[in-house]
């Protein structure tokens, strides 16, 4: 079946595309993971020790004007990655599947009731230099939910048009040098007075590649993304 859906297509058309292009839940294998990493294109140290399993929910909200992506801004007082934009998510508990982790974390962080979420499939795994093996879980979210933020972790929640985030023209390539001589290359997505970057921008870019880009462009265009839950 040829895919003619675009980021501006109807929710029904995009749901079909998501089901065809995303990795099915049955394909999840924590050992056989074909991953993307924020180390691929950067001069950066490999984390010591094993990576910690983690998952995030990429919530696609079904608005009348089109799909939006629900994102959070992390609280300013956090010890790590404070103020950065992220998907709801976090470290997996023992025995959890990625979708269990993603739905639980979304409920804990922003109060998104899992009964509003229909899991469509998995995005490409993403390993970070901060020591996490992240599995993105993509879900369609029906309207009508209410949110209650865990203020210790989340400063605010907002939505960005899905079509904006699926337009490669909105991604900027950034390079940052650190005092220890290491160089990091990553994607950044300016949107209004906010900037999405790091692992979050990297996972969004990988979602674009999986859903809409030609397969032979993936390796050529992606410069990697900075570590952490950016």
Give the alpha-carbon dihedral of 23, 24, 25, 26, to 10 degrees: -120
Question: Is there a domain that residue 150 lies in?
Answer: yes
Question: Is there a domain that residue 196 lies in?
Answer: yes
Question: Is there a domain that residue 226 lies in?
Answer: no
> pLDDT tens, position by position, for the chain (230 residues)?
457 899 999 999 999 999 999 999 987 776 665 556 554 444 445 555 688 999 999 999 999 999 999 999 988 665 555 558 999 999 999 999 999 999 999 999 999 999 999 999 999 998 887 788 899 999 999 999 999 999 888 999 999 999 999 999 999 988 877 666 667 778 999 999 999 988 899 999 999 999 998 643 443 444 443 333 44
Q: What angle do CA 162, 168, 171 make, to 5 degrees?
A: 95
The CATH code of the domain that includes 145 is 3.90.79.10
Structure tokens at 65: 């004007």
Query: What is the pTM for the complete model shown?
Result: 0.85
Question: Is there a domain that residue 96 lies in?
Answer: yes
Nearest to 35 by CA among 216, 222, 230: 222
Say if residues 209 and 218 touch (Cβ distance below 8 Å): yes
Domain ranges, residue 46: 11-221
Question: Is there a domain that residue 155 lies in?
Answer: yes
Beta bridge partners of 46: none
The count of domains in the chain is: 1
How far is 204 from 221, CA to CA, in rounded Å? Answer: 14
Question: Is there a domain that residue 229 lies in?
Answer: no
Question: Is there a domain that residue 3 lies in?
Answer: no
Question: Is there a domain that residue 24 lies in?
Answer: yes
How far is 49 from 82, CA to CA, in rounded Å? Answer: 24
Other C-beta atoms lying within 10 Å of the C-beta of residue 66: 18
């Amino acid at each position: 079946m040829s895919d003619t859906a675009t980021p501006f297509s109807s929710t029904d058309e995009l749901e079909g595309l998501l089901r065809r292009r995303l990795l099915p839940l049955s394909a999840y294998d924590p050992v056989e993971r074909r991953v993307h990493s924020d180390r691929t294109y950067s001069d950066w140290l490999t984390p010591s020790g094993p990576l910690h399993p983690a998952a995030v929910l990429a919530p696609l909200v079904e608005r009348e004007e089109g799909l939006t992506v629900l994102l959070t801004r992390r609280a300013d007082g956090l010890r790590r990655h404070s103020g950065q934009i992220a998907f709801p998510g976090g470290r997996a508990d023992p025995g959890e599947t990625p979708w269990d982790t993603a739905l639980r974390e979304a409920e804990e962080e922003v109060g998104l009731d899992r009964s509003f979420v229909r899991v469509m499939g998995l995005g490409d795994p993403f390993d970070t230099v901060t020591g996490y093996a992240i599995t993105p879980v993509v879900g369609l979210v029906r309207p009508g939910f209410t949110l209650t933020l865990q203020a210790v972790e989340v400063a605010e929640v907002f939505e960005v048009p899905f079509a904006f985030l699926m337009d490669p023209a909105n991604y900027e390539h950034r390079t940052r040098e650190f005092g220890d001589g290491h160089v990091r290359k990553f994607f950044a997505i300016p949107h209004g007075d906010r900037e999405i970057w790091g692992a979050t921008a990297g996972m969004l870019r990988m979602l674009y590649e999986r859903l809409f880009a030609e397969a032979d462009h993936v390796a050529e265009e992606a410069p990697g993304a900075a570590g952490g839950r950016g």
